[in-house]
């Protein structure tokens, strides 16, 4: 195993992490932006108003996207496990 192989595996790992966590992070960002805009317009500064909708939206996104996230992670893991013999040489 050389440095190029390690760099490639690391890049794939970061790609999978971004693909798996990206949808939930984007949903949380958009909901937080909309709630912040709503709070600015109405001048309501309720502390729980920012967190509860973001948590609900994030969990809904994870629930809806979980089959796809699982597929991405299983494909990455399967590819990594099947490449072990070639990495050992």
Mean of pLDDT values over 4-29: 93
**What total of structural domains would you count in the chain?**
1
**By residue range, what is the domain housing residue 13?**
3-88
Most confident segment among 11-15, 42-46, 82-86: 11-15
> How much is the pLDDT for 20?
94
Q: Is the pLDDT of residue 3 over 80?
A: yes
Q: How far apart are the first and last CA of the chain?
A: 7
Q: Is the pLDDT of residue 89 over 80?
A: no
Q: Is the pTM of this model over 0.85?
A: no
């Amino acid at each position: 195993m050389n440095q190029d192989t390690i760099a490639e595996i690391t890049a794939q790992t970061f790609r999978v992490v971004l693909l798996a966590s990206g949808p939930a992070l984007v949903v949380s960002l958009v909901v937080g932006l909309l709630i912040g805009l709503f709070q600015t317009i109405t001048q309501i500064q309720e502390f729980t108003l920012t967190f509860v909708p973001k948590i609900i939206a994030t969990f809904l996104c994870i629930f809806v996207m979980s089959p796809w996230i699982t597929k991405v992670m299983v494909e990455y893991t399967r590819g990594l496990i099947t490449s072990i013999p070639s990495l050992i040489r």
